[in-house]
Amino acid sequence: MNIIPPRSNVSRSITSDDYRDVIRAAADMLELCNTRHGLYPSGYAVAHAQVSERPFRFFVTNNGDIVMNPIIIRKTKTPVKRIEGCLSYPDNKPIEVMRSNKCEVEYEVLNPITRIATKQVENMSGLQAQIFQHEIDHMDGHCIYDA
């Protein structure tokens, strides 16, 4: 599995019928997340949209969490400048991106052993909020380097 150039494809939501495929892809995505890509020694997360032309709506964090069907419920109205890079563009230097510093996100975490997804609603800030917004952008067909 390799990281592919971003596409404007919007990821489709995951159902329990998709869990086997998600778990299979997640293992490879975790490895990609923890591998050097160009300027980046590793990444915080990899969205399925970065590795598939027919993406599911999930991403894998560098500690192995499988985050499915995330949606931002609420976020701060005034964004702040954040510096971000993207593994989809391994040779591009990080750039300034406007992000909400705080957001409330609803998502599911899939346990690959039990194949049970746990729904969560979490208030996030700082780096965690930035990571979730970045990966949700990928799932919505957007990238930080889009003009």
pLDDT in tens, the chain (147 residues): 888 877 788 999 999 999 999 999 999 999 999 999 999 999 999 999 999 999 999 999 999 999 999 999 999 999 999 999 999 999 999 999 999 999 999 999 999 999 999 999 999 999 999 999 999 999 999 999 986
Beta strands 80-84 and 66-75, pairing class: unpaired
**Longest CA–CA separation in the chain, Å:** 42
pTM: 0.95
Whole-angstrom distance, CA of residue 33 vs CA of residue 122: 23
Nearest Cα residue to 25 out of 60, 65, 71? 60
